[in-house]
């Protein structure tokens, strides 16, 4: 029975406490001070104040349990307590967060041990994250991580987190080749601890793809191209040819024939001994490579010429004025920046145009060299730049400089589509034609362009006029070709026999006139 008291009864008790010498003064004192100074535990009332201290033992019997006491000491605190609990719970719930889980778009397959990265955003952090793989109605837990719970004093503004784990047949041998589902569950680290999950349908891949490659002889010459055909079986996502760190796409054989082909380049600067490989990868990250029959005729490799170019002030003024109009300072330094940095950026931009290609041959005849032109510079000439007798730079010239007369019509080397027609730094006014399957031709230094991006052009069609825009000292056409973004020597493509033997005979190049 709790000790409750009645105020009137307390006054009576105090008045009757005749042992205290100041008892007579107490009633008034109690009236003034008592409510604030009363202590109930152990049924002892202690009154303090104005130099008076008094302890009264109270009896805890029912007569003192008045309705007022019940209201004051039981009901009211109870209501307050419930209210506090309700408000707190509402507050805790209202401010609890829900996690957001993101699985990478690239995740489409599980292999032996496939790395998986999960992004989680939750302002209160997470208490638990678990990954499951479901196959044939059975769920396998493949990974789990927990953190200490924070139900009340949770963290705030927790940064998004990244979780890495691997899953696959290595750790879950019950999985077999075929479709499955990855489920990632995340629980927020706060009061409510709400759980969110992300799901992804994927395939379990246990076998790498298989390759079978043609048995043709593939001759490799620096700066030149070749074509390989192959078949790929099994589950695969990407296949092509890898030469050093360069990759060349593969395409389904034209004309509905089975198999694939890749046009690839052996770049002018590829280290001797580099072996081109046909490769195929699957979504589980397995890669298989295969070798083609290659020949690398050492003695017949192209020898790059070295050319010395004398720069004069008139040329430097022309180039810097055109390509660095707002620059200031030393003209030679400005020229060097253009010749290195701008050239590099322009070659990168050209390489990126490889993606604007069509999966079909847009041409059916050998490529044309600019009619009546004189070759002034060869592909991959090494150029030493001299100024006032001193060598100041060296660059490799990736193309042919073809001179005819001033402002001669620049013709399309073959049928194709205009994929670029605008100024391009050192190349001046520049046109890029796509001929399909990643093969493109490039025309630089034009004084005038009369075609537009998207136009289809015919072999021999005039697309503009030669000039000396960009890094050019005289009127000429800079002509070059690229294969999947790697600049190549165009001369093979000017050769009908080479095209017949290396392209037309290996794939169905319909109506190739040779």
For the record, the structure tokens of 93 come out as 């719930």
Binding mask 89-118 for Zn ion (x = CB under 5 A): ------------------------------
Nearest to 121 by CA among 196, 183, 181: 196
Q: Which stretch binds Zn ion (CB under 5 A): 48-56, 154-162, 279-287, 473-481?
A: 473-481
With respect to Zn ion, which residue has the nearer C-beta, 234 or 473? 473
The reply on whether position 343 binds Zn ion by CB under 5 A is no
For the record, the structure tokens of 43 come out as 């049924």
For the record, the structure tokens of 126 come out as 């997470």
With respect to Zn ion, which residue has the nearer C-beta, 357 or 469? 469
With respect to Zn ion, which residue has the nearer C-beta, 207 or 383? 383
Angstrom distance (rounded) from CA 160 to CA 493: 53
With respect to Zn ion, which residue has the nearer C-beta, 60 or 396? 396
The reply on whether position 334 binds Zn ion by CB under 5 A is no
End-to-end CA gap in the chain: 114
Q: How many residues contact Zn ion, by CB under 5 A? A: 2
Q: Which of residues 135-164 bind Zn ion (CB under 5 A)?
A: none
Phi-psi region of 47 (alpha: psi -120 to 50; beta: other; left: phi over 0): beta
CB of 487 to Zn ion, least distance (A): 11
For the record, the structure tokens of 123 come out as 């302002």
CB of 377 to Zn ion, least distance (A): 6
With respect to Zn ion, which residue has the nearer C-beta, 417 or 478? 478
CB of 397 to Zn ion, least distance (A): 6
CB of 407 to Zn ion, least distance (A): 17
Q: Which stretch binds Zn ion (CB under 5 A): 72-80, 283-291, 354-362, 478-486?
A: 478-486
Count of beta carbons in the 10 Å neighbourhood of residue 84: 10
Q: Are 198 and 242 in contact (CB under 8 A)?
A: no
With respect to Zn ion, which residue has the nearer C-beta, 222 or 402? 402
Shortest-Cβ-distance residue relative to Zn ion: 478
DSSP, residue by residue, 143-158: EEEE----SSS---SP
The reply on whether position 478 binds Zn ion by CB under 5 A is yes
In degrees and rounded to multiples of 5, residue 26 shows phi and psi of -65, -40
Binding mask 3-22 for Zn ion (x = CB under 5 A): --------------------
CB of 471 to Zn ion, least distance (A): 8
DSSP, residue by residue, 265-309: EE-TTPPTT---EEEEE-TTS-EEEEE-EEE--GGGSPPPPEEEE
Q: Which stretch binds Zn ion (CB under 5 A): 79-87, 248-256, 426-434, 472-480?
A: 472-480
Residue 60, classified by CB atoms within 10 Å of its CB into exposed (0-12), middle (13-18) or buried (19+), is middle
Q: Which of residues 355-374 bind Zn ion (CB under 5 A)?
A: none
Q: Is the dihedral of CA 450, 453, 454, 457 positive or negative?
A: positive
With respect to Zn ion, which residue has the nearer C-beta, 465 or 478? 478
Whole-angstrom CA distances from 17 to 60, 213, 280, 512 are: 18, 114, 103, 127
Beta bridge partners, 384, equal 308, 394
CB of 426 to Zn ion, least distance (A): 9
CB of 422 to Zn ion, least distance (A): 18
With respect to Zn ion, which residue has the nearer C-beta, 247 or 307? 307
CB of 401 to Zn ion, least distance (A): 4
Nearest to 437 by CA among 261, 292, 278, 268: 261
Element (H, E) at 323: helix 313-323
CB of 493 to Zn ion, least distance (A): 17
With respect to Zn ion, which residue has the nearer C-beta, 334 or 478? 478
CB of 383 to Zn ion, least distance (A): 9
With respect to Zn ion, which residue has the nearer C-beta, 127 or 491? 491
Q: Which of residues 377-436 bind Zn ion (CB under 5 A)?
A: 401
237 Cβ neighbours under 8 A, 6+ residues apart: 108, 281, 282, 283
Give the interface with Zn ion as residue ranges (CB under 5 A). Answer: 401, 478
């Amino acid at each position: 029975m709790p000790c409750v008291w009645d105020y009137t009864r307390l006054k009576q008790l105090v008045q009757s406490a005749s042992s205290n010498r100041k008892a007579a003064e107490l009633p008034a004192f109690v009236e003034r001070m008592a409510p604030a100074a009363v202590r109930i535990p152990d049924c002892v009332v202690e009154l303090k104040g104005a130099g008076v201290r008094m302890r009264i033992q109270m009896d805890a019997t029912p007569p003192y349990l008045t309705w007022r006491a019940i209201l004051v000491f039981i009901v009211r605190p109870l209501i307050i307590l419930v209210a506090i609990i309700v408000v707190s719970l509402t507050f805790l719930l209202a401010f609890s967060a829900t996690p957001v889980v993101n699985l990478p778009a690239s995740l489409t397959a599980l292999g032996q041990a496939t790395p998986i990265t999960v992004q989680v955003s939750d302002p209160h952090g997470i208490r638990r994250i678990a990954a499951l793989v479901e196959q044939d109605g059975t769920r396998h837990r493949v990974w789990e991580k927990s953190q200490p719970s924070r139900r009340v004093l949770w963290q705030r503004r927790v940064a998004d987190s990244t979780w890495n784990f691997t899953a696959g047949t290595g750790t879950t041998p019950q999985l077999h080749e075929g479709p499955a589902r990855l489920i990632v569950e995340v629980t927020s680290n706060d009061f409510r601890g709400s759980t969110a999950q992300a799901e992804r349908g994927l395939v379990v891949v246990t076998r790498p793809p298989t390759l079978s490659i043609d048995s043709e002889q593939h001759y490799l010459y620096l700066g030149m191209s070749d074509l390989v055909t192959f078949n790929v079986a099994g589950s695969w996502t990407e296949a092509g040819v890898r030469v050093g760190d360069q990759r060349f796409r593969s395409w389904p054989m034209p004309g509905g024939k089975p198999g694939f082909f890749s046009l690839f380049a052996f770049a002018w600067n590829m280290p001797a001994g580099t072996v081109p490989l046909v490769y195929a990868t699957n979504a589980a990250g397995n890669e298989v490579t295969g070798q083609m029959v290659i020949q690398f005729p050492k003695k017949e490799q192209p020898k790059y010429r070295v050319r010395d170019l004398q720069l004069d002030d008139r040329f430097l003024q022309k180039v810097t004025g055109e390509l660095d109009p707002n620059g200031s300072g030393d003209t030679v330094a400005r020229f060097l920046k253009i010749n290195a940095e701008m050239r590099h950026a322009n070659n990168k931009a050209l390489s990126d145009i490889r993606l604007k290609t069509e999966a079909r041959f847009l041409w059916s005849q050998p490529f044309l060299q600019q009619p009546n032109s004189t070759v002034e510079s060869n592909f991959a000439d090494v150029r030493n730049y001299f100024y006032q007798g001193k060598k100041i730079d060296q660059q490799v010239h990736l193309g042919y400089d073809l001179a005819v007369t001033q402002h001669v019509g620049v013709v399309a080397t073959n049928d194709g589509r205009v994929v670029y027609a605008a100024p391009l730094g050192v190349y001046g006014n520049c046109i890029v034609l796509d001929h399909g399957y990643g093969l493109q031709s490039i025309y630089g230094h034009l004084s005038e362009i009369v075609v537009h991006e998207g136009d289809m052009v015919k072999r021999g069609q005039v697309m503009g006029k030669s000039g000396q825009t960009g890094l050019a000292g005289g009127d000429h056409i800079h002509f070059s070709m690229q294969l999947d973004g790697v600049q190549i020597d165009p001369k093979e493509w000017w050769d009908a026999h080479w095209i017949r033997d290396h392209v037309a005979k290996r794939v169905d190049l319909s109506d190739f006139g040779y």
